[in-house]
Structure 1
């Protein structure tokens, strides 16, 4: 039996055949290899095998091989689906500031607008935290865990509070009655917000799971979805009762469309994305759609509260009979 040579004379051929790596010819094989792969929107599968100099599989019993792979997307740690998402949050911050400035100038004395601005402030804080977290994440692949956690909590809180404002509006607040009974609803709202926050802390504590970075995955996503559906049910009951007391059907139609759009859009968008959207576009589609719809609803609220020709403006100022 012929003895196999100990030196690997074809190591360059073996190295370039699979990975196209430039391996040194002097026998020094570096443990760090860098390469660029032009691969867009496809799942990557890495298969690592050890071989001898003839290309046959080597027996490595008793050895432990540790391999760490860091994949960058155009020098960024973001995957293709999340690449550039911090720019989206930057645009969202600018849009929220413009909406807040409009509300402050046109409707600072309106009771409903005052609550909308408080919710908008929480939303802006969430957007700033997300922007900072994702900006750092693009450089180190880790981000700032505290900013990510607080941003998710503030984001969920702003969504729930804005949903509660629509429910209060459907109950006749600012139309049939001017006072919002905070004592009655505050414990209920606080319980839901605290519960969502605790679940978000637990979910984001675990590494390596998709739901750590995307709120619509995992238990947190299901809880948020169920809360949206429950709030939609409460909103529909309030609108039904309000329609019996208010003569302005135009207002009822508008507030019903916008309220249902805000309450139910999240479950609908997630469902459509799960069925019809490819995995690498899901996060971008869901994030952009929820941001767009929530801001359009805020713009609508700012418009009806500050424009004198709207039916809501006439109702809340009791310029005509509502009963």
Structure 2
């Protein structure tokens, strides 16, 4: 499992996003691809600016180097019908070309009514040749900075339209985590420390919540630096995403082990011993297979999706399979839980099952739900809505599960009915060990 996590970290570092871009113009790459893609950015407002700084101006002038800006519509159309355009025609379709004949060049975009993606492409005199020939091998390094207008209308905002607001969201999220931790952490620690029938579940649930809190704090640090320089801290951003993945994997294993062990024991009418969350080989095997499949799909997705976020709109095959996996798991659990709930005659136990099912389904289905409804909104709003919606929904799911497993009075009332069918309950002879 360790090598899988290392691969994930490497993929996240490779795909780190930045809107202050450094690199070198490559004439050979530009010739091969009929233009070297530099960066894509969602500009908005009426004072958006693209700033280009280069070294070796003499080499750039000799190559007749330039940056070509394409609006989203023209670029997509051109990519779909590439065979219909020759190389010079493709370059002529650019909205504007910026000649690289000076050390620094600032270009102010026209007023943009609604946010649009703009593509910056490098090309020079060798890009459209039939065969590549470049006697001048001098490197031309560059720094491209992309800025949107801030609240005062000045071009100082490094965030694109698809990222604006996430910095403030993670700040509020970290603040909420801090306040809640100050209020409840002592009582929760005492509950976990003294043990009890819910001890294992509470530890795993707390670990998953801690990972989410670390992820939110890391995202806040990354976006705080990003707001200043357009680059952020790629390592911290990758840590945030790795914590999100670890939290989701841990919760998936917990919920699947609980649900499958619970439903399998009920179907077999097993009443011999208390049900533990990972006690049955079948439920453990099912959870391990599902978790392994999720990890493989998550890592696959990191390599496919270079525009990386913690939660994606899932345009890639791996992302689509990940959504399908969550829906299949939710459906399989719904079938087992429905049979148990309909067969249960006791109102108290049935209410416990229903509340537990709500927490599970909210966790499994929030991501597919927000991905589905995101297509009702503009493209630049989709990933923001998915990110915010999934984080809030998963937090609500954790609150539901915490309230359920910390409710000693509810467990006392249910277990007093001589039931051993609930997750992590104990037989009547051992009640006094955990409850007073």
TM over 0.5: yes
Q: Tell me which moved more, 138-147 or 175-184.
A: 175-184
Name the residue aligned to 1:250. Answer: 351
Name the residue aligned to 1:86. Answer: 167
Structure 2: runs of 5 or more not aligned:
1-47, 49-100, 129-140, 151-155, 267-273, 422-436
CA 1:266 to 1:214, structure 2 compared with 1: closer, same or farther past 3 Å?
A: closer
- Matches of 2:171 and 2:337 in 1, distance apart? 35
Instruction: Specify which of 281, 296, 314 is matched with residue 381 of structure 2.
Output: 281
Q: Is the 8 A contact 2:252 2:291 kept in 1?
A: no
How far the C-alpha of 1:140 sits from its partner, in A, is: 2.9
Structure 1: runs of 5 or more not aligned:
1-18, 20-27, 49-59
How far the C-alpha of 1:214 sits from its partner, in A, is: 5.3
CA 1:40 to 1:120, structure 2 compared with 1: closer, same or farther past 3 Å?
A: farther
How far the C-alpha of 1:239 sits from its partner, in A, is: 1.7
How far the C-alpha of 1:221 sits from its partner, in A, is: 2.9
Instruction: Specify which of 247, 262, 266 is matched with residue 172 of structure 1.
Output: 262
- Matches of 1:279 and 1:269 in 2, distance apart? 13
CA 1:103 to 1:303, structure 2 compared with 1: closer, same or farther past 3 Å?
A: farther
1:267 paired to 2:368: yes
Q: Is the 8 A contact 2:222 2:232 kept in 1?
A: yes
CA 1:105 to 1:79, structure 2 compared with 1: closer, same or farther past 3 Å?
A: same
TM-score by length of 1: 0.69
Q: SS of 2:262's equivalent? A: coil
How far the C-alpha of 1:195 sits from its partner, in A, is: 1.7
Give the length in aligned residue pairs: 278
1:242-286 per-residue CA deviation (whole Å, 9 max, x = no partner) reads 434684211222222232122112101111111x11222212221
Name the residue aligned to 1:239. Answer: 337
- Matches of 1:141 and 1:123 in 2, distance apart? 24
Q: CA RMSD in A?
A: 3.9
- Matches of 1:289 and 1:136 in 2, distance apart? 24
Name the residue aligned to 1:224. Answer: 322
- Matches of 2:325 and 2:214 in 1, distance apart? 22
Greater RCO (Cα-Cα under 8 Å, separation 6 or more): 2
Name the residue aligned to 2:187. Answer: 105
How far the C-alpha of 1:72 sits from its partner, in A, is: 1.0
Q: SS of 1:282's equivalent? A: helix
1:321 paired to 2:411: no
- Matches of 2:388 and 2:277 in 1, distance apart? 35
CA 1:158 to 1:63, structure 2 compared with 1: closer, same or farther past 3 Å?
A: closer
- Matches of 2:355 and 2:237 in 1, distance apart? 35
TM-score by length of 2: 0.53
Instruction: Specify which of 137, 142, 146 is matched with residue 235 of structure 2.
Output: 146
1:131 paired to 2:131: no
Matches within 5 A, 1:53-72: 70-72=145-147
- Matches of 1:226 and 1:161 in 2, distance apart? 19
Q: Tell me which moved more, 224-233 or 236-245.
A: 236-245
How far the C-alpha of 1:197 sits from its partner, in A, is: 4.9
